[in-house]
Amino acid sequence: MTRSITLAAIQFSPSDDVQANIDRVAGFVEQAAGRGADVVLPPELFCGYYFCKTQEEEHFARALPWETHPAVVQLTEIAKKFDVVIPVSIYEKDGPAYYNSLVMLDADGAALGVYRKSHIPDGPGYQEKFYFGPGNTGFRVWDTKKGKIGVGICWDQWFPEAARAMALMGADVLLYPTAIGAEPQDAGLDTAARWRRAMLGHAVSNVIPVCAANRVGDEQGQAFYGTSFISDQTGEVVAEMDRAKEGVIVATFDLDMIDRERAAWGFFRDRRPDLYGSLL
């Protein structure tokens, strides 16, 4: 039997009401499942407003242990109900440490583990180093009931090393939950196109489908530009959202065909790790 996988990305504008946002994601998951999705990707930190634009101590209260986080607990039942994999992006508290984390829920609702964002940005409007420690899990690829899934979180998506590491670990697809938009220091700077091109390069160089889910809309003066997309293994965009709408996009891939194509291109055959010492 041919292996295939159907990916879905959710694009929406969260409120600052945790339960309302979880309910909305659950509704979008149901929509995606109705369109045949195997894996449904919500945006980064979808439980509330993107709070990292400034440094405010009160926001540490948003973090919770992943095992008891309401998004994880409730979406576990949704994953099981609709037989879909859901990568759940949360603000995690682990003892005295805080992380921008993702919990992978398998299609039977099992929590397969946690990935903690490796690359933490720090700049105008995106002051994440105040809130998150650097991830200590390393990159992760989960062998889910629907396929082998690698996930990077937002700023991770700009780094080719992260994509290549997950591909080397056997990922069938790469997913990137995201929160990105306006640059407050420069109103004329629009990174939407280069954001997409960076990930399309990962698709090409690793012969792998890529799915990115972004938030959209204005949050207390900070605008997020949406443009969520799914690309195939050649870097061709096969499904996308615009800068305004909320909703779900879906695309299906033949994983056996992609495996053959990846082998035929020879990127992994012709790698020269013996020459890459300068990367370290």
- Shortest CA distance to 121 belongs to which of 154, 162, 166? 154
CA-wise closest residue to 167 among 244, 267, 48, 25:
267
Other C-beta atoms lying within 10 Å of the C-beta of residue 242: 12
Which SS3 state, helix, strand or coil, does residue 171 take? coil
Task: Check if 117 is active-site.
Answer: yes
The active-site residue out of 146, 154, 211, 219 is: 154
Choice among 52, 53, 92, 117 that is catalytic = 117
- Is 44 among the residues known to form the active site? yes
* Residue 29 to residue 110: CA distance in whole angstroms: 17
Which SS3 state, helix, strand or coil, does residue 177 take?
A: strand
Question: Please, is 130 exposed, middle or buried when counting C-beta atoms within 10 Å of its C-beta (0-12, 13-18, 19+)?
Answer: middle
Is residue 52 among the annotated active site residues? no
Q: What tokens does 106 get?
A: 């398998």
Residue 213, C-beta contacts closer than 8 angstroms, at least 6 positions apart: 9, 10, 11, 41, 42, 43, 44, 175, 176, 177, 178, 228
CA atoms within 13 A on the CB side of 243: 11
**Residue type at position 187:** A
Residues with a catalytic annotation lie at 44, 117, 154
